[in-house]
Structure 1
């Protein structure tokens, strides 16, 4: 794919696809609930469709009624059935890790795999704590997929302190705890996205959260009866980051992104952009399905360099590639600290982000786990070809850069953008009023 400057400002309003994290959880909790859960705004990207297929394979009735509208008839806690075939999670690390927790608490045998990228990603971080429930796992070297799981007949509740902040590991432990008697307790060193806790409450589970000197403590009372409840999925803030960035970079732009999630544990990018001087206005704030939501008005303007602290990583883990693109246009040197977790995403995102900027003629360097981007307040030269490594966020970041760089940018493959943002190119071309993103 190729991205070039549209020759006019971005304008109008748009709605990004549903939040991927919430969409995965809506399908899983719907499968565990008693009754039928109605879901509106479900992301229909490849990752979430893999989760839908897995829930069907485990015995839940999962049906699409219309674009974004789904129904899930659940089987209740402990009621999932043994799948007849391998569960293929495609490229989704979130789905794979959460599913490990769900399967660990059910006395069934299953095998999980994924695409080439997912099979390289570490699963040991969930296998180790979940083994203490009584579940058994057999994996490739390093805890990598394919993974065989024999769930516990009588799962034990866990008391687990996360070695690093990870919403995926926290959620896997809580999902396993649903099937265990007693209280499952998780301590996280830094608060991570709390969609699992919000949705557990939405379906009727008892969840207690407390900030303590040892960290944020989450306690779940096991073996609840989850009751089907309707869910409205807000727009994904990680997906909204791309049109937001494009509006900040393309001169004269004014763009409204409607109905995006504003969960305070997901808005690290917005906080960082405000520090950089970005013109952002939130309107029509509301709560939908337990999640804060609103409309975001974005206007083009100059940006200045900032230092992003490591404590902000959990609230914007997926947004660092596009933040690095914005930093390349800013005045001064932006330093993003503590990015070790980026090395084990869909690609080594730290290296891939630095390579993306280099392909555009921007200056960046990796120092330990920090990324430094040197900007001079002007667009980078552009004109390069970016190797995306099958990473949808690297691909979209490179294309956004191409909308404002001096020369167009190209990526080697954009097919997998649909894993998180179906229709990305068409949407961006609509607000650009031109064929700015094209094949070739």
Structure 2
């Protein structure tokens, strides 16, 4: 199978999910059958399973890099991707190659087609196949550990078939309410579905409603809990364009000073969460090793400064809580209090909450449509911002919207903020490119 054919096959599986299959129908029974037909790769890979609403991708990435710094061959499964499917599967910070991905898709395809014919659960979804490909790859390459980011929720997510040595829950907030529930307690309960008896949970700082539910579930299941807020501390001494400098302390492990190039106090919190997992794996606190690896951290799309003149920042924030964190980071690290905003969202996002979070931040707002079948029409998205009195312009094509937004930012002498969806990335592909990415990958993305 050629690489392009493999990509077309994978993206063709998305048609199944466009039907908006109810969350309760995305049963783990189908994923378990899929794994069994593939030889149960999930049963032999030491795994860290990471759930949460905010920061789970960044935490997973940092943990992946930290394991590598201590000499462990580490796999990372993350989602979604910005420019190429290959971003979802990597080992030692190297994306799976086009050739390897095509080979694995060729191996998995007959299994998917057989399940469509024979299984009472039907064929695996696009995401389930992606998880299967990652686990097969990690098994073949004999990784020492795999960091696996949960897709949606936790309890019924395809990644929950893994047998983790440690589970992680990053901050829980409101997102995917139409699927996970309308209260923080309901959402936290779904996230806590990844907990296992006698498997330690690293719990990032939470709002009390979410924390209470997770701790109750941990007690019920017999999962030991280490709370980052109790076990770790950081004193930030510098914030700026190059990131943060802080002193950290992890109880019973060690302390030191670190420079973190990822912008935001929330990234310091994510880093502490990752350190606590490293401690649980019995690895030593070697500050020189930590400094060396953190200096090379690069996680595109997270308060990502694309240009300095004019200042342009791209961020994948797509719920109210993430936008609140984003605005605080722009203020504290880049001294940005006003900007031209280029925004685009998918259906189901809390645009009303996002508009409330933004309030008076945009001087001018351009609303576009991400390159995704479930893009929210500009007429709908813009309605949430018009009531605030902010000048709003509607440009459905994200490429034209980018040109217009850059022009307005130059005219007004203001920074440009691009946010609202991972699927705005393609409009900035020549700046965002962080690996050698084939043009055909981006066009098929």
Give the alignment's TM-score, normalised by structure 1: 0.31
Which one has the bigger helix percentage? 2
